[in-house]
Structure 1
Amino acid sequence: MVVVGLLDGVFMFVADLSRDIEVPHVVDFVVASSYGANTVSSGNVKIKKDASASVRGKHVLIVDDICDSGRTLASLAELFRSREAASVRTCCLLDKTCRRVVDVQPDYVGAVIDDHFVVGYGMDWDAKYRSLPFIGIVKPHLYDPAARVEEGDDG
């Protein structure tokens, strides 16, 4: 079995999850993103670092921190199927089903969340807040100018 984590946000979850998987496995990582510095998916999945391990004939578990639009998870699942993995399953810590734009349902989900921008436990906002030992919701007025106006905050 090959556990493939999507860096950067998933590293803490993969470490914890890997310790609880009782079957022999190797851990590998892929860097793929559709966010950049934004708080919503750009819709364009880019693979910046591919997996090192061969998945041919092996069972693959793709692990992501959050499934939002579903584009990244769907793209990577298809990629590993095309590489002749014996099976491909997907796992996400958080599932934001309200934002889904592709037909993908993770096989394993830690929790379903509403449409909030979250940080901590490896997840970031423009490379900040990853090391928080909890998952927190970023208040919309901090990143959304429209929310600032609605709340009567000038900055």
Structure 2
Amino acid sequence: MHQDMKKILVSEDQIIARSKELGKQISEDYTCAKELPLVVGLLKGSVPFLAELIKHIDLDVCIDFMDVSSYEGTESIGDVKVNMDLSSSVKGIPVLLVEDIIDTGRTLKEVTRLLKNKGASDVKVVSLLDKPDRRTVEIEADYVGFVVPNEFVVGFGLDYDQKYRTLPYVGVLKDEVYQ
């Protein structure tokens, strides 16, 4: 365990096992659909989860990315900025949005709205983590890896000041590191 962690909340083995379950469920749900979804990862945090998840989706899906931000340090600023938009059109196509964590829900709600405004036929969300105690807007994921308590989590894509993303697990950061 990294010296800056208070504890490991979700192990690498748990993440892999849950990604297999989610991939199987997503595959089943989209097998009968008229069109396969465009899998859209939100940079940068979703990348490790997206990479693990797509190994277990038994469909020939296309992948794209968006870079959006709504945080400064540890706090959501409430203003979602699109730093990099999709490279492909979503008009008439279902989208499966991949997120690292649903916290306040503001980013997810805004990105979902943007994708629908661009003409996506449907937007579903898969998130590695869900932190419902922090929700400030009404939004839910269609697929959730793990529900976590209101603690400062990092690892497996989640960061603090761009650090800890490469940890193979999700851990709780020691308070003294970020306060």
Normalising by the residue count of structure 2, what TM-score does the alignment of the two structures yield?
0.77
The amino acid that maps onto 2:173 is V
How many residues align structurally? 143
Structure 1 residues not aligned, in runs of 5+: 145-155
- Percent identical across equivalent pairs? 45
Deviation at 1:40, TM superposition (A): 2.1
Partner of 1:43: helix, strand, or coil?
Answer: strand
Q: Does 1:8 align with 2:68?
A: no
- Matched residues in 1 for 2:59 and 2:166: separation? 29
The amino acid that maps onto 1:90 is V
- After TM superposition, list the pairs within 5 Å mapping 1:110-125 onto structure 2: 110-125=145-160
Structure with the bigger percentage of strand:
2
- After TM superposition, list the pairs within 5 Å mapping 1:111-150 onto structure 2: 111-144=146-179
- Matched residues in 2 for 1:97 and 1:140: separation? 21
- Matched residues in 1 for 2:94 and 2:139: separation? 19
Structure 1: 4+ residue segments shifted above 4 A: none
Deviation at 1:30, TM superposition (A): 0.5
2:101 is aligned to 66
Structure 2 residues not aligned, in runs of 5+: 1-36
Structure with the bigger percentage of helix:
2
Deviation at 1:142, TM superposition (A): 2.3
Greater RCO structure (CA 8 Å; 6+ sep) = 2
Q: Does 1:24 align with 2:72?
A: no
The amino acid that maps onto 1:84 is G
Once the two structures are superposed, residues 50-71 of structure 1 have per-residue CA deviations (whole angstroms, 9 ceiling, x without a partner) of: 0111111111011110000001
Deviation at 1:22, TM superposition (A): 1.6
1:52 is aligned to 87
Once the two structures are superposed, residues 35-93 of structure 1 have per-residue CA deviations (whole angstroms, 9 ceiling, x without a partner) of: 13x11211111110001111111110111100000011111111111111121101111
- Matched residues in 1 for 2:55 and 2:111: separation? 23
